Every structure is written in C-alpha cells, then in structure tokens.
Amino acid sequence: MTIKFQHLINSIDIALDENDEQALQKLLVNTSAAEIARLMESLTQKDRLTLWHYVPTRLRAKVLLELHQDLRRSLIAHTDEVELTASLSAVQMDELADIDSDLPITVISAMVQAMDAQRRERYDLVKHYPDDSAGGLMDVDITAVRADVSLKAALRYMRRLRQREGALPDHLDSLMVVDRNNVLLGVVPLSQIISNDLSISVRDVMSTEVTSFTPLNSAHNVAQAFKDKDLLSAPVVDDQHKLIGRITVDDVIDVIQDEADKEVFSRAGLNSHPDMFAPILKSSGRRAIWLGINLMTAFLAAWVIGLFETSIEKIVALAVLMPVVASMGGVAGSQTLTLVTRGLALNQINNKNMAKLIGHEFSIGALNGMLWAAVVGIIAFQWFGDWQLGMVFGAAMIIVLVTGVLAGTTIPPLLKKMGIDPALAGGVVLTTVTDVVGFFAFLSLATLIIL
C-alpha cells in the first residue's frame, strides 16, 4: 500500500467519523474508481453505504466493476435505479456484460432500449460468452482498417473516431487490418503509422504474425500468452477468422490478479474474494466447512496415535518428539505442493515429465531425510541418552520427508483429474498424509525396536 493511499484512507476515516460531507466530496472527486473500490472493501458495511452516497455518479459504474460480487450487489441494492442507469451509460459493452447479472432487470431493460442497433448487437454478442473466456474479456468496440488504404487515411480515420466518440479506445497500441469480409489479415502498430511516409499503404507496414484468440479460449490461457509474448492487446476472431473483438492488457492484469488471489485464499479454505466485513453468520458458515474437514483429519491422526497409547505411556519421550516428525513432513510436502500446483497452473507438468518430476522430488526428499535424520538422531541421543530412540527418530524423519515430497508431487495432479482445485484441497490432504504417516512410522518403529 502506497503512502498516498494510506493517507487517503486515514483522511476518509476522519471525514466519516466527523460526518464532514464537504471533505468526503473533495477527497473522492480526484480519486480513481479502483482506489474507491479498495476504500470500500476496507470499511464496515455502515461506512460503505455512507461513502457510496458521496461517490460521483460518473465513477459509480467503474467502482462497481472493481468490486467483488457480494459487495457490488449490496451497493446496487442501495442505489436509486435512475442514478444507476445514468452511471452505467458510459460503460463499454464488455463491462456491462460483466455485471449485468447483478443489476435489476428494469435497469438492464432501460440500458438495452437506449442502445442503437449496432451496440445492442455487440452487447448480445459479448454477454453470450463466459466471464472466464476470451469472449468474456474482449472489447467489441474495434478499430480496424483495410490493408489497401494509405497510412494517411488510417490516421484520418483515428481523428474522426476521436471526434465522434470523444476519445480513442483505451490502450490502443495498434489498428487491426481486415479484408472486405472482416477477416483478420494482421495488425499495424501506431508507431508504424506515425514514423513512416503517410503515402504508403497499410499493407506495406502491417505485421501478419499476430497472436489471436477464439472466444472460448480460457482467460487463463489468454493471460499466459500475454505474459509470454509481452502483448498490450490482441484480436479475438471467430471460426472463420473474422474479427469480433479485442483484448487489452488491463483486462489481463485483472485475470492474473484474480488467479493469484484465488490461490492464496484457497489454501486457507476461503473463497477467492473474501470480504473482511461480510455478515458474521455468512462468513462463519463458509469457514466452518473447512474447519470441519480439518477436524476429521485431526481425529484420524489422533486415532493413529491412540493405537500406540501403551508405547507412549512407557516412553514419554515419544510424545515430546512426535510433533517434530509431523511438522518436518508437512513443511517438506508444502514446498513440493506449492511447486507442483504452480506447475499445473502454468501447464508445465504433463504425462511425459511427471515420472521424472517424481524421481527428482524423491531424490530431494531422500537427501534431506538423511541429512536431518543424522541431526535429529544426535539431538535425541544427547537429550534423552538413548541411542535406540535417536535411531528411531532419524529413521522416522527419513520416511516422513520422503512421504511428504511424494505426496506433494502426486496429490495436485490426482485432485485435478478428479475435478477438485489442488490449491483448495491440496493442503488439507497433504497434512493428513504427513501426520498419519509420520506418527505411524515413528510410533511403530519405536514399538518394534525399543519395547
């Protein structure tokens, strides 16, 4: 968080506490929609509704686009429909399609009726595609020229477009080049238009090596392509390679951020956009599910410990050292689990390299196991004066570290094949495996060798 934004939050908090309407209006008028959205998410429900009242109408639609769905629906429910319709009048078709399911039917109907035939057709096109697809990301307001026109004509076209629309499309770095049937032929960067003789044709300077997407390409694959090829924009084409839209880097950044948030929150059993001030009962219910699952796995580990109750009573040192075994296995497994989950997300893991990856991680687990087995064996001997206990402790350490890395390697692909998100369930399954194997290995070896 930047110092400037922290200062803004502090100023907003003071203005809300003092009910200073003029200060709130002054603070919000020069604040971006994204910053206002972040402010909203940091406030309690009561303060959110108060602050929302002072958000300029021209920014409200953009703010709603930046918010997670639960908060967006809450603010929409507390907004006058006339004001809501007015604020939505300036949004692009793809942006309207992103939130239309959260809007009142009367507002959507008013928006559609106010559209001309071309905009209505574009809206119907973009809302047909899922949000997590290239079609859901694309902007249908396309800037395209023919290949046989001159650069001067292309430049004149952009000037007319700016006069007609009031501004050029956001993140416009190139013009799409199409033929008479709207089939994509290539792109011409704006840098080529302004740096070449304006009398030459677009065909002479356009690039035909274009990264394009079909509407049903996943948003994840689109984001990966943008990262790999340093794209600022890319065309979207249909099955006949006809140009239907354009994806820009600002939409892709949102996808990347959403994926990162999802991975972080999933590991804690939370949804991808947890609300800090969501209703208590609702939040409790969501968290209770994963707490219940964790409780069941904990009882499974406790059951394994219970099988060796007699051994633990005779050798108290076993109870002291048991948590160390399970903890080391959990850490080793988590390291591998994180690596493999990321590899799956980036499509770096496949059937060809899976066996080699397992062998690689097994070697790492075995080497670390032998290293730390020697260390803990010596510590256990020095602590309790029992060389057999040290040997058992070291052997259990090797077993649990190897088990941890093997589980961390194999659990994510198995969960993915079962249709379960590895980022969501992988940690719970891994903890169960390392705890159960660690406790069982340590206690059973102690029972066999020491007793």
pLDDT beyond 60 at 59: yes
Between 239 and 424, whose confidence is greater?
239
Least confident of 163-177, 193-207, 259-273: 259-273
Q: What is the mean predicted confidence (pLDDT) over 23-28?
A: 89
**pTM for the predicted model, two decimal places:** 0.69
pLDDT of residue 256: 86
Instruction: Answer for the pair 341, 409: CB distance below 8 angstroms, yes or no.
Output: no
Tokens of 406: 């093997």
Between 268 and 348, whose confidence is greater?
348
pLDDT beyond 60 at 280: yes
pLDDT of residue 351: 84
Provide CB contacts within 8 A for 16, sequence distance 6+: 24, 43, 47, 50, 51
pLDDT in tens, 305-327: 999 988 888 788 898 999 899 89
pLDDT beyond 80 at 90: no
The pairing of beta strand 174-178 with beta strand 144-146 = parallel
Sign of CA dihedral 75, 76, 81, 85: positive
pLDDT of residue 225: 92
Q: What is the mean predicted confidence (pLDDT) over 218-245?
A: 92
Q: CA 131, CA 138: separation in Å to the nearest integer?
A: 10
- Note the CATH architecture for domain 1-127: Alpha Horseshoe (1.25)
Q: What is the mean predicted confidence (pLDDT) over 41-47?
A: 87
Q: What is the mean predicted confidence (pLDDT) over 28-36?
A: 88
Domains of the chain, by residue range, sit at 1-127, 144-268, 280-450
Exposure string (b/e) for 37-60, b if CB count within 10 Å is 16 or more? Answer: bbbbbebeeebbebbbebbeeebb
pLDDT of residue 282: 75
CATH number assigned to the domain covering 144-268 = 3.10.580.10
CATH 1.10.357.10 correct for 280-450: no
pLDDT beyond 80 at 185: yes
Q: What is the mean predicted confidence (pLDDT) over 435-445?
A: 93
- Count H helices and E strands in the chain, helices first: 22, 5
